[in-house]
Structure 1
Protein backbone atom coordinates (compact mmCIF):
# COMPACT_ATOMS: atom_id res chain seq x y z
CA UNK A 1 0.00 0.00 0.00
CA UNK A 2 1.29 3.49 -0.87
CA UNK A 3 2.44 5.19 2.37
CA UNK A 4 0.34 8.26 1.70
CA UNK A 5 -2.76 6.09 1.29
CA UNK A 6 -2.01 4.50 4.66
CA UNK A 7 -2.14 7.95 6.21
CA UNK A 8 -5.79 8.26 5.24
CA UNK A 9 -6.58 5.53 7.73
CA UNK A 10 -5.01 7.59 10.49
CA UNK A 11 -4.73 11.25 11.31
CA UNK A 12 -2.68 12.33 8.30
CA UNK A 13 -4.72 12.70 5.15
CA UNK A 14 -4.51 13.54 1.50
CA UNK A 15 -7.60 14.70 -0.35
CA UNK A 16 -8.74 16.59 -3.41
CA UNK A 17 -9.67 20.22 -2.91
CA UNK A 18 -11.40 22.59 -5.30
CA UNK A 19 -10.11 22.04 -8.83
CA UNK A 20 -9.40 18.65 -10.35
CA UNK A 21 -5.63 18.87 -9.88
CA UNK A 22 -5.53 20.24 -6.34
CA UNK A 23 -4.02 18.24 -3.50
CA UNK A 24 -4.35 19.00 0.20
CA UNK A 25 -2.21 17.43 2.89
CA UNK A 26 -3.30 17.44 6.52
CA UNK A 27 -1.35 16.12 9.49
CA UNK A 28 -3.00 16.42 12.87
CA UNK A 29 -0.23 14.30 14.37
CA UNK A 30 2.96 12.59 13.20
CA UNK A 31 2.54 9.07 14.52
CA UNK A 32 3.31 7.72 11.02
CA UNK A 33 6.26 9.29 9.16
CA UNK A 34 6.45 6.73 6.36
CA UNK A 35 5.68 9.41 3.73
CA UNK A 36 8.75 11.45 4.76
CA UNK A 37 12.38 11.40 3.71
CA UNK A 38 14.31 12.24 6.89
CA UNK A 39 17.84 13.55 6.57
CA UNK A 40 20.80 14.38 8.80
CA UNK A 41 20.11 14.48 12.52
CA UNK A 42 16.37 14.09 11.96
CA UNK A 43 16.92 10.58 10.59
CA UNK A 44 18.55 9.51 13.87
CA UNK A 45 15.61 10.57 16.06
CA UNK A 46 13.32 7.68 16.98
CA UNK A 47 9.89 7.50 15.33
CA UNK A 48 7.35 8.24 16.53
CA UNK A 49 8.48 10.96 18.91
CA UNK A 50 6.03 11.81 21.68
CA UNK A 51 6.47 15.16 23.39
CA UNK A 52 5.90 15.80 27.10
CA UNK A 53 2.28 16.70 26.33
CA UNK A 54 1.65 13.23 24.91
CA UNK A 55 1.53 14.30 21.24
CA UNK A 56 3.23 12.54 18.33
CA UNK A 57 5.36 15.26 16.73
CA UNK A 58 7.85 15.57 13.89
CA UNK A 59 11.05 16.29 15.83
CA UNK A 60 13.75 17.81 13.63
CA UNK A 61 16.55 18.26 16.19
CA UNK A 62 16.92 17.28 19.84
CA UNK A 63 20.41 18.37 20.92
CA UNK A 64 23.29 20.71 20.08
CA UNK A 65 25.43 20.76 16.90
CA UNK A 66 22.82 19.22 14.62
CA UNK A 67 21.36 19.73 11.15
CA UNK A 68 18.28 17.86 10.01
CA UNK A 69 15.32 17.91 7.67
CA UNK A 70 12.15 16.05 6.77
CA UNK A 71 10.53 16.33 3.34
CA UNK A 72 7.64 14.45 1.81
CA UNK A 73 9.14 11.70 -0.34
CA UNK A 74 6.82 12.55 -3.23
CA UNK A 75 7.01 15.83 -5.08
CA UNK A 76 4.01 18.13 -5.19
CA UNK A 77 3.05 19.47 -8.61
CA UNK A 78 2.70 23.23 -8.15
CA UNK A 79 1.08 23.60 -11.54
CA UNK A 80 -0.64 26.97 -10.98
CA UNK A 81 2.45 29.21 -11.25
CA UNK A 82 3.89 27.43 -8.17
CA UNK A 83 1.06 28.81 -6.01
CA UNK A 84 0.44 27.22 -2.61
CA UNK A 85 -0.96 27.82 0.85
CA UNK A 86 0.19 26.14 4.04
CA UNK A 87 -0.43 26.39 7.78
CA UNK A 88 1.40 24.61 10.57
CA UNK A 89 2.00 24.72 14.28
CA UNK A 90 5.41 24.26 15.85
CA UNK A 91 6.94 24.10 19.28
CA UNK A 92 10.53 24.85 20.34
CA UNK A 93 11.30 23.63 23.86
CA UNK A 94 13.97 22.25 26.20
CA UNK A 95 16.60 24.94 25.50
CA UNK A 96 20.18 23.69 25.77
CA UNK A 97 23.73 25.04 25.74
CA UNK A 98 24.92 28.61 25.65
CA UNK A 99 22.77 31.75 25.64
CA UNK A 100 22.42 34.84 23.51
CA UNK A 101 20.77 38.09 24.65
CA UNK A 102 17.35 36.53 25.23
CA UNK A 103 18.46 33.23 26.76
CA UNK A 104 19.24 29.62 25.87
CA UNK A 105 18.04 27.77 22.82
CA UNK A 106 18.83 27.73 19.09
CA UNK A 107 18.62 27.94 16.19
CA UNK A 108 15.08 27.59 14.83
CA UNK A 109 12.94 26.01 12.12
CA UNK A 110 12.61 26.66 8.37
CA UNK A 111 9.66 25.72 6.15
CA UNK A 112 11.20 24.79 2.80
CA UNK A 113 10.03 24.25 -0.77
CA UNK A 114 12.92 22.77 -2.77
CA UNK A 115 13.89 20.45 -5.60
CA UNK A 116 16.05 17.75 -3.91
CA UNK A 117 14.53 15.84 -0.99
CA UNK A 118 17.55 13.99 0.40
CA UNK A 119 19.45 16.87 1.93
CA UNK A 120 19.93 18.91 5.07
CA UNK A 121 21.79 22.21 5.08
CA UNK A 122 24.14 23.92 7.51
CA UNK A 123 24.27 23.38 11.26
CA UNK A 124 23.82 26.17 13.81
CA UNK A 125 22.90 29.46 12.18
CA UNK A 126 22.30 27.62 8.91
CA UNK A 127 19.14 26.15 10.54
CA UNK A 128 19.44 23.14 8.22
CA UNK A 129 18.63 25.44 5.27
CA UNK A 130 21.83 27.09 4.04
CA UNK A 131 23.19 25.45 0.92
CA UNK A 132 19.84 24.11 -0.33
CA UNK A 133 19.69 25.79 -3.74
CA UNK A 134 16.58 26.24 -5.89
CA UNK A 135 14.47 26.77 -2.81
CA UNK A 136 12.18 28.94 -0.76
CA UNK A 137 12.93 28.97 2.97
CA UNK A 138 10.67 30.67 5.51
CA UNK A 139 12.68 30.94 8.74
CA UNK A 140 11.69 31.08 12.39
CA UNK A 141 15.07 32.04 13.85
CA UNK A 142 15.80 31.99 17.60
CA UNK A 143 19.50 32.89 17.73
CA UNK A 144 21.44 36.06 16.96
CA UNK A 145 24.14 35.06 14.46
CA UNK A 146 24.81 38.57 13.17
CA UNK A 147 24.81 40.22 9.76
CA UNK A 148 26.45 37.24 8.05
CA UNK A 149 23.17 35.37 8.54
CA UNK A 150 21.00 38.45 7.97
CA UNK A 151 19.92 38.30 11.64
CA UNK A 152 18.50 41.54 13.09
CA UNK A 153 18.22 39.90 16.54
CA UNK A 154 17.80 36.53 18.22
CA UNK A 155 14.05 36.17 17.63
CA UNK A 156 12.77 36.89 14.14
CA UNK A 157 11.19 35.49 10.99
CA UNK A 158 12.20 35.91 7.36
CA UNK A 159 11.53 34.84 3.76
CA UNK A 160 14.58 33.56 1.87
CA UNK A 161 15.54 32.12 -1.50
CA UNK A 162 18.29 29.92 -2.88
CA UNK A 163 19.59 28.35 0.34
CA UNK A 164 20.79 31.63 1.87
CA UNK A 165 19.36 34.04 4.42
CA UNK A 166 18.86 36.94 2.06
CA UNK A 167 15.30 38.18 2.42
CA UNK A 168 13.19 40.57 4.46
CA UNK A 169 12.87 39.86 8.18
CA UNK A 170 10.58 40.88 11.01
CA UNK A 171 11.35 40.75 14.71
CA UNK A 172 9.03 38.84 17.05
CA UNK A 173 8.51 40.30 20.52
CA UNK A 174 7.84 37.03 22.37
CA UNK A 175 10.51 34.32 22.39
CA UNK A 176 9.53 31.63 19.90
CA UNK A 177 11.55 29.05 21.87
CA UNK A 178 9.38 29.58 24.93
CA UNK A 179 7.96 26.04 24.93
CA UNK A 180 4.52 27.14 23.72
CA UNK A 181 2.83 26.21 20.45
CA UNK A 182 3.16 28.78 17.68
CA UNK A 183 1.05 28.98 14.52
CA UNK A 184 2.24 30.03 11.07
CA UNK A 185 0.61 30.58 7.68
CA UNK A 186 2.61 30.87 4.45
CA UNK A 187 0.92 31.73 1.15
CA UNK A 188 2.33 32.21 -2.34
CA UNK A 189 0.17 33.72 -5.06
CA UNK A 190 1.79 32.84 -8.38
CA UNK A 191 -0.41 35.37 -10.19
CA UNK A 192 1.06 38.27 -8.20
CA UNK A 193 4.40 36.65 -7.16
CA UNK A 194 3.77 37.64 -3.53
CA UNK A 195 4.88 35.40 -0.65
CA UNK A 196 3.33 36.21 2.74
CA UNK A 197 4.03 34.93 6.24
CA UNK A 198 1.65 35.25 9.18
CA UNK A 199 2.49 34.23 12.74
CA UNK A 200 0.40 33.97 15.91
CA UNK A 201 0.41 32.45 19.37
CA UNK A 202 -3.03 30.95 18.77
CA UNK A 203 -4.78 29.24 15.86
CA UNK A 204 -6.55 32.38 14.60
CA UNK A 205 -5.14 33.51 11.26
CA UNK A 206 -4.00 37.18 11.44
CA UNK A 207 -5.51 39.51 8.86
CA UNK A 208 -2.15 41.10 8.04
CA UNK A 209 1.10 39.46 7.02
CA UNK A 210 4.07 39.90 9.36
CA UNK A 211 6.53 39.85 6.44
CA UNK A 212 6.18 39.51 2.67
CA UNK A 213 8.39 39.23 -0.40
CA UNK A 214 7.93 39.30 -4.17
CA UNK A 215 9.56 36.51 -6.19
CA UNK A 216 8.92 34.34 -9.24
CA UNK A 217 8.97 31.05 -7.35
CA UNK A 218 8.65 28.89 -10.46
CA UNK A 219 11.81 30.52 -11.83
CA UNK A 220 13.60 30.19 -8.47
CA UNK A 221 12.81 26.47 -8.31
CA UNK A 222 13.41 25.84 -12.01
CA UNK A 223 10.47 23.41 -11.97
CA UNK A 224 6.92 23.22 -10.70
CA UNK A 225 7.52 19.79 -9.14
CA UNK A 226 8.89 20.41 -5.66
CA UNK A 227 9.50 18.74 -2.32
CA UNK A 228 8.01 20.36 0.76
CA UNK A 229 8.98 20.03 4.40
CA UNK A 230 11.01 21.46 7.25
CA UNK A 231 14.61 21.89 8.37
CA UNK A 232 16.29 22.77 11.65
CA UNK A 233 19.80 23.30 12.94
CA UNK A 234 21.55 23.78 16.27
CA UNK A 235 25.05 24.78 17.32
CA UNK A 236 26.55 25.38 20.74
CA UNK A 237 22.95 26.05 21.77
CA UNK A 238 20.06 23.78 20.89
CA UNK A 239 16.76 22.28 21.92
CA UNK A 240 13.75 20.33 20.70
CA UNK A 241 12.36 21.61 17.40
CA UNK A 242 8.95 20.03 16.77
CA UNK A 243 6.30 20.32 14.07
CA UNK A 244 2.98 19.66 15.79
CA UNK A 245 0.49 19.88 12.90
CA UNK A 246 0.58 20.76 9.21
CA UNK A 247 -1.79 21.57 6.35
CA UNK A 248 -0.78 22.25 2.75
CA UNK A 249 -2.71 23.03 -0.45
CA UNK A 250 -1.03 23.09 -3.87
CA UNK A 251 -2.83 26.29 -4.91
CA UNK A 252 -3.39 29.76 -3.52
CA UNK A 253 -6.18 28.96 -1.04
CA UNK A 254 -5.33 30.73 2.25
CA UNK A 255 -6.00 28.43 5.19
CA UNK A 256 -7.99 29.71 8.14
CA UNK A 257 -9.48 32.63 6.28
CA UNK A 258 -12.52 32.46 4.01
CA UNK A 259 -11.13 29.35 2.29
CA UNK A 260 -10.68 26.91 5.16
CA UNK A 261 -9.23 23.49 4.38
CA UNK A 262 -11.69 21.02 5.92
CA UNK A 263 -10.45 18.28 8.22
CA UNK A 264 -11.36 14.84 6.83
CA UNK A 265 -13.79 13.14 9.19
CA UNK A 266 -14.20 9.60 7.87
CA UNK A 267 -12.61 7.04 5.60
CA UNK A 268 -15.22 7.97 2.99
CA UNK A 269 -12.54 10.39 1.72
CA UNK A 270 -10.24 7.52 0.79
CA UNK A 271 -11.41 7.54 -2.84
CA UNK A 272 -10.72 11.25 -3.15
CA UNK A 273 -7.28 10.73 -1.69
CA UNK A 274 -6.41 8.20 -4.38
CA UNK A 275 -7.36 10.74 -7.05
CA UNK A 276 -5.20 13.36 -5.36
CA UNK A 277 -2.17 11.09 -5.39
CA UNK A 278 -2.17 11.21 -9.18
CA UNK A 279 -0.83 14.76 -9.01
CA UNK A 280 2.09 13.79 -6.76
CA UNK A 281 5.22 12.50 -8.46
CA UNK A 282 8.01 10.49 -6.93
CA UNK A 283 11.63 10.87 -7.88
CA UNK A 284 14.19 8.18 -7.30
Structure 2
Protein backbone atom coordinates (compact mmCIF):
# COMPACT_ATOMS: atom_id res chain seq x y z
CA UNK A 1 0.00 0.00 0.00
CA UNK A 2 2.82 2.41 0.87
CA UNK A 3 4.47 1.82 -2.51
CA UNK A 4 1.17 2.39 -4.31
CA UNK A 5 0.65 5.68 -2.43
CA UNK A 6 4.17 6.83 -3.40
CA UNK A 7 3.48 6.07 -7.06
CA UNK A 8 0.18 7.94 -6.90
CA UNK A 9 1.94 10.89 -5.28
CA UNK A 10 4.42 11.05 -8.16
CA UNK A 11 1.60 11.13 -10.68
CA UNK A 12 -0.24 13.86 -8.75
CA UNK A 13 2.92 15.97 -8.53
CA UNK A 14 3.48 15.61 -12.26
CA UNK A 15 -0.09 16.68 -12.97
CA UNK A 16 0.23 19.73 -10.71
CA UNK A 17 3.44 20.79 -12.46
CA UNK A 18 1.83 20.37 -15.88
CA UNK A 19 -1.00 22.75 -14.98
CA UNK A 20 1.51 25.52 -14.20
CA UNK A 21 3.43 25.20 -17.47
CA UNK A 22 3.23 28.08 -19.93
CA UNK A 23 5.93 27.32 -22.52
CA UNK A 24 7.50 23.86 -22.82
CA UNK A 25 9.99 22.66 -25.43
CA UNK A 26 11.35 19.25 -24.50
CA UNK A 27 13.28 19.49 -27.77
CA UNK A 28 13.11 21.67 -30.86
CA UNK A 29 11.77 19.27 -33.46
CA UNK A 30 8.95 21.83 -33.66
CA UNK A 31 9.49 25.56 -33.12
CA UNK A 32 5.88 26.72 -33.45
CA UNK A 33 5.35 29.67 -31.13
CA UNK A 34 8.87 31.02 -31.59
CA UNK A 35 10.21 33.80 -33.79
CA UNK A 36 13.70 32.92 -35.00
CA UNK A 37 15.87 35.90 -35.92
CA UNK A 38 19.25 36.23 -37.62
CA UNK A 39 21.26 33.02 -37.66
CA UNK A 40 18.94 31.12 -35.29
CA UNK A 41 17.48 27.88 -36.62
CA UNK A 42 16.23 24.51 -35.47
CA UNK A 43 18.70 21.76 -36.36
CA UNK A 44 19.80 18.27 -35.41
CA UNK A 45 23.19 18.11 -33.71
CA UNK A 46 23.60 14.47 -34.68
CA UNK A 47 21.68 13.00 -31.77
CA UNK A 48 18.81 15.41 -31.01
CA UNK A 49 16.85 18.40 -32.26
CA UNK A 50 18.16 21.65 -30.79
CA UNK A 51 17.61 25.37 -31.23
CA UNK A 52 20.91 26.67 -32.62
CA UNK A 53 21.26 30.38 -31.97
CA UNK A 54 24.54 30.60 -33.88
CA UNK A 55 26.66 28.20 -35.87
CA UNK A 56 30.40 28.14 -35.22
CA UNK A 57 31.11 30.87 -37.75
CA UNK A 58 32.50 34.37 -37.35
CA UNK A 59 30.22 37.40 -37.25
CA UNK A 60 26.99 35.56 -36.45
CA UNK A 61 24.06 36.83 -34.37
CA UNK A 62 20.80 35.09 -33.60
CA UNK A 63 17.86 35.12 -31.24
CA UNK A 64 14.67 33.23 -30.57
CA UNK A 65 11.76 34.81 -28.73
CA UNK A 66 8.17 33.92 -28.02
CA UNK A 67 6.17 34.83 -31.10
CA UNK A 68 3.61 36.64 -28.96
CA UNK A 69 4.39 38.62 -25.81
CA UNK A 70 3.80 36.76 -22.56
CA UNK A 71 1.50 38.25 -19.94
CA UNK A 72 3.29 38.05 -16.61
CA UNK A 73 1.40 37.74 -13.34
CA UNK A 74 0.23 40.84 -11.49
CA UNK A 75 3.41 40.82 -9.39
CA UNK A 76 5.62 40.21 -12.46
CA UNK A 77 6.76 36.85 -11.13
CA UNK A 78 8.14 34.15 -13.44
CA UNK A 79 10.12 30.91 -13.37
CA UNK A 80 12.10 29.21 -16.11
CA UNK A 81 14.39 26.25 -16.64
CA UNK A 82 16.54 25.65 -19.71
CA UNK A 83 19.41 23.45 -20.82
CA UNK A 84 22.05 24.67 -23.26
CA UNK A 85 25.23 23.43 -24.89
CA UNK A 86 28.12 25.56 -26.20
CA UNK A 87 30.66 23.66 -28.33
CA UNK A 88 32.68 23.50 -31.56
CA UNK A 89 34.92 26.38 -30.56
CA UNK A 90 36.77 28.29 -33.26
CA UNK A 91 39.69 30.58 -32.43
CA UNK A 92 39.14 30.04 -28.71
CA UNK A 93 35.34 30.11 -28.81
CA UNK A 94 32.92 33.02 -28.28
CA UNK A 95 30.83 34.78 -27.21
CA UNK A 96 28.09 33.15 -25.14
CA UNK A 97 24.33 33.43 -24.84
CA UNK A 98 21.71 35.34 -22.86
CA UNK A 99 18.28 34.41 -21.52
CA UNK A 100 16.27 37.61 -21.92
CA UNK A 101 12.91 39.13 -21.09
CA UNK A 102 12.37 42.22 -23.25
CA UNK A 103 9.55 44.43 -24.50
CA UNK A 104 10.67 46.06 -27.74
CA UNK A 105 10.06 43.31 -30.29
CA UNK A 106 11.41 40.04 -31.55
CA UNK A 107 14.90 41.28 -32.36
CA UNK A 108 18.67 40.77 -32.21
CA UNK A 109 20.96 43.19 -30.37
CA UNK A 110 24.69 43.80 -30.71
CA UNK A 111 26.89 41.17 -32.34
CA UNK A 112 30.21 39.80 -31.09
CA UNK A 113 30.67 40.58 -27.41
CA UNK A 114 27.16 42.05 -27.39
CA UNK A 115 25.85 38.44 -27.50
CA UNK A 116 22.75 39.60 -29.39
CA UNK A 117 21.56 41.30 -26.20
CA UNK A 118 23.47 44.57 -25.99
CA UNK A 119 21.39 47.66 -26.72
CA UNK A 120 17.95 46.11 -26.16
CA UNK A 121 16.35 48.51 -23.68
CA UNK A 122 13.73 47.61 -21.05
CA UNK A 123 15.14 44.17 -20.59
CA UNK A 124 16.40 41.70 -18.01
CA UNK A 125 19.10 39.24 -19.08
CA UNK A 126 21.04 36.34 -17.62
CA UNK A 127 24.33 36.09 -19.50
CA UNK A 128 26.44 32.98 -19.94
CA UNK A 129 29.60 34.62 -21.22
CA UNK A 130 32.59 32.80 -22.72
CA UNK A 131 34.76 35.78 -23.69
CA UNK A 132 36.75 38.24 -21.60
CA UNK A 133 35.62 41.75 -22.57
CA UNK A 134 37.55 43.51 -19.83
CA UNK A 135 36.35 45.20 -16.64
CA UNK A 136 32.65 44.79 -17.46
CA UNK A 137 33.25 41.03 -17.31
CA UNK A 138 35.59 41.30 -14.31
CA UNK A 139 38.27 40.10 -16.76
CA UNK A 140 36.71 36.63 -16.96
CA UNK A 141 36.12 34.46 -20.02
CA UNK A 142 33.89 32.00 -18.16
CA UNK A 143 31.17 33.66 -16.08
CA UNK A 144 27.44 34.05 -15.48
CA UNK A 145 25.87 37.40 -14.68
CA UNK A 146 22.61 39.32 -14.28
CA UNK A 147 22.20 42.18 -16.76
CA UNK A 148 19.72 45.04 -17.02
CA UNK A 149 18.69 47.43 -19.79
CA UNK A 150 20.74 45.88 -22.59
CA UNK A 151 24.02 46.45 -20.78
CA UNK A 152 26.53 43.61 -20.43
CA UNK A 153 28.19 45.17 -17.38
CA UNK A 154 26.55 42.73 -14.99
CA UNK A 155 25.02 44.01 -11.75
CA UNK A 156 26.17 40.77 -10.13
CA UNK A 157 28.52 38.17 -11.58
CA UNK A 158 29.92 34.71 -10.79
CA UNK A 159 33.26 33.84 -12.39
CA UNK A 160 34.12 30.92 -10.08
CA UNK A 161 32.15 28.34 -12.01
CA UNK A 162 32.67 24.60 -11.43
CA UNK A 163 32.42 23.96 -15.19
CA UNK A 164 33.53 25.43 -18.50
CA UNK A 165 30.57 27.05 -20.27
CA UNK A 166 31.90 26.23 -23.74
CA UNK A 167 33.16 22.76 -22.84
CA UNK A 168 30.59 20.97 -24.98
CA UNK A 169 28.57 19.64 -22.04
CA UNK A 170 24.91 20.28 -21.26
CA UNK A 171 24.39 22.93 -18.59
CA UNK A 172 21.03 23.63 -16.98
CA UNK A 173 19.92 26.91 -15.44
CA UNK A 174 16.91 27.85 -13.33
CA UNK A 175 15.82 31.49 -13.08
CA UNK A 176 13.08 32.52 -10.62
CA UNK A 177 11.71 35.97 -9.90
CA UNK A 178 9.42 36.49 -6.92
CA UNK A 179 7.59 39.72 -7.67
CA UNK A 180 6.23 40.02 -4.14
CA UNK A 181 9.74 40.31 -2.67
CA UNK A 182 11.65 41.55 -5.74
CA UNK A 183 14.19 38.74 -5.41
CA UNK A 184 15.74 37.27 -8.54
CA UNK A 185 17.48 33.90 -8.08
CA UNK A 186 19.68 32.16 -10.64
CA UNK A 187 20.83 28.57 -10.32
CA UNK A 188 22.93 26.42 -12.62
CA UNK A 189 24.41 22.93 -12.70
CA UNK A 190 26.09 20.53 -15.11
CA UNK A 191 24.28 17.46 -13.75
CA UNK A 192 20.69 18.63 -14.33
CA UNK A 193 19.93 18.68 -10.60
CA UNK A 194 18.54 21.96 -9.25
CA UNK A 195 20.80 23.38 -6.49
CA UNK A 196 19.09 23.96 -3.16
CA UNK A 197 20.64 27.43 -2.79
CA UNK A 198 20.76 30.07 -5.51
CA UNK A 199 24.16 30.67 -7.12
CA UNK A 200 23.30 34.32 -7.88
CA UNK A 201 20.68 36.56 -6.25
CA UNK A 202 19.70 40.16 -6.86
CA UNK A 203 16.86 42.40 -5.72
CA UNK A 204 15.24 44.25 -8.60
CA UNK A 205 11.90 45.85 -9.43
CA UNK A 206 11.04 44.13 -12.69
CA UNK A 207 8.01 46.37 -13.16
CA UNK A 208 10.36 49.36 -13.37
CA UNK A 209 12.76 47.51 -15.69
CA UNK A 210 10.10 46.40 -18.17
CA UNK A 211 7.50 49.12 -17.74
CA UNK A 212 4.73 46.73 -18.85
CA UNK A 213 3.24 43.40 -17.83
CA UNK A 214 3.71 41.91 -21.29
CA UNK A 215 7.10 40.87 -22.63
CA UNK A 216 8.85 38.62 -25.11
CA UNK A 217 10.94 35.84 -23.58
CA UNK A 218 13.75 33.89 -25.19
CA UNK A 219 17.46 33.75 -25.96
CA UNK A 220 20.13 35.71 -27.81
CA UNK A 221 23.67 34.90 -28.88
CA UNK A 222 26.45 36.16 -31.14
CA UNK A 223 29.97 35.47 -32.34
CA UNK A 224 32.80 37.73 -33.45
CA UNK A 225 36.26 36.84 -34.71
CA UNK A 226 35.98 33.76 -32.47
CA UNK A 227 32.95 31.49 -32.53
CA UNK A 228 31.05 28.52 -31.08
CA UNK A 229 27.80 26.73 -31.68
CA UNK A 230 25.25 27.99 -29.14
CA UNK A 231 22.43 25.47 -28.72
CA UNK A 232 19.33 25.50 -26.54
CA UNK A 233 18.48 21.88 -25.79
CA UNK A 234 15.21 22.27 -23.87
CA UNK A 235 13.20 25.06 -22.26
CA UNK A 236 10.28 25.58 -19.90
CA UNK A 237 8.89 28.99 -18.93
CA UNK A 238 6.09 29.80 -16.48
CA UNK A 239 4.30 33.15 -16.43
CA UNK A 240 4.25 33.28 -12.62
CA UNK A 241 6.64 32.57 -9.77
CA UNK A 242 6.46 28.79 -9.69
CA UNK A 243 9.95 27.27 -9.32
CA UNK A 244 10.56 24.26 -11.54
CA UNK A 245 11.99 21.57 -9.30
CA UNK A 246 11.83 18.59 -11.64
CA UNK A 247 12.94 18.37 -15.28
CA UNK A 248 10.32 18.90 -17.99
CA UNK A 249 11.21 15.38 -19.19
CA UNK A 250 12.47 12.77 -16.70
CA UNK A 251 16.17 12.02 -17.08
CA UNK A 252 17.11 8.38 -17.95
CA UNK A 253 17.88 7.59 -14.31
CA UNK A 254 14.49 8.99 -13.28
CA UNK A 255 12.73 6.89 -15.90
CA UNK A 256 14.56 3.83 -14.59
CA UNK A 257 13.42 4.56 -11.02
CA UNK A 258 9.83 5.12 -12.16
CA UNK A 259 9.82 1.87 -14.16
CA UNK A 260 11.29 0.03 -11.17
CA UNK A 261 8.62 1.56 -8.92
CA UNK A 262 5.81 0.55 -11.26
CA UNK A 263 7.33 -2.95 -11.40
CA UNK A 264 7.27 -3.15 -7.61
CA UNK A 265 3.64 -2.02 -7.58
CA UNK A 266 2.77 -4.63 -10.22
CA UNK A 267 4.55 -7.38 -8.29
CA UNK A 268 2.73 -6.40 -5.08
CA UNK A 269 -0.62 -6.54 -6.86
CA UNK A 270 0.18 -9.95 -8.37
CA UNK A 271 1.20 -11.35 -4.97
CA UNK A 272 -2.01 -9.99 -3.48
CA UNK A 273 -4.11 -11.68 -6.18
CA UNK A 274 -2.28 -15.00 -5.69
CA UNK A 275 -2.75 -14.84 -1.91
CA UNK A 276 -6.44 -14.00 -2.29
CA UNK A 277 -6.94 -16.90 -4.72
CA UNK A 278 -5.19 -19.31 -2.34
CA UNK A 279 -7.39 -18.24 0.59
CA UNK A 280 -10.51 -18.71 -1.48
CA UNK A 281 -9.39 -22.17 -2.55
CA UNK A 282 -8.87 -23.22 1.10
CA UNK A 283 -12.20 -21.76 2.27
Give the counterpart of 1:120 among 108, 114, 122. Answer: 108
Query: For this pair of structures, how many residues does the alignment match?
Result: 233
Answer yes or no: is the 8 Å Cα contact 1:26–1:263 preserved in 2.
no
Per the alignment, residue 159 of structure 1 pairs with 146
Whether contact under 8 Å (1:16, 1:24) holds in the other structure is no
Cα shift at 1:118: 2.3
Which of 34, 51, 60 is the aligned partner of 1:66? 60
Aligned to 1:33: 31
Matches of 1:16 and 1:131 in 2, distance apart? 39
Task: Give how far 1:212 is off.
Answer: 1.3
TM-score, structure 1 normalization: 0.77
* CA distance, structure 2, for counterparts of residue 205 and residue 94 of structure 1: 26
Q: Secondary structure at the match of 1:255?
A: coil
> Contact conserved, 1:37 with 1:117, CA < 8 A, in 2?
no
Aligned-pair distance for 1:113? 0.4
C-alpha distance in 1, partners of 2:158/2:105?
A: 28
Q: Distance in 2 between matches of 1:70 and 1:50?
A: 17
Could you say what the CA RMSD is over the residues aligned between the two structures, in angstroms?
2.0
Residue from 225, 234, 239 that aligns with 2:228: 239
Asked if the contact 1:16/1:23 (under 8 Å) is kept, the reply is no
Paired with 1:64 and 1:128, the residues of 2 have a C-alpha distance of 14
1:6-57, Cα deviation, whole Å (9 max, x unpaired): xxxxxxxxx99698xx652211100111311111222xx4xx30013x1100
Q: The residue matched to 1:32 in structure 2 has which SS?
A: coil
Could you say what secondary structure the match of 1:183 adopts? strand
Cα deviation code 1:143-195 (max 9, x no counterpart) = 11112x33440000000110002310001242110001001000000011111
Kindly indicate whether the alpha-carbon contact (under 8 Å) linking 1:69 and 1:230 is maintained by their aligned counterparts in 2.
Answer: yes
Distance 1:109 1:213, change over 3 A: same
TM-score by length of 2: 0.78
Q: Secondary structure at the match of 1:232?
A: strand
Q: Match of 1:56?
A: 49
Bigger Cα Rg: 2
Aligned partners of 2:107, 2:137: CA distance in 1, in Å? 22
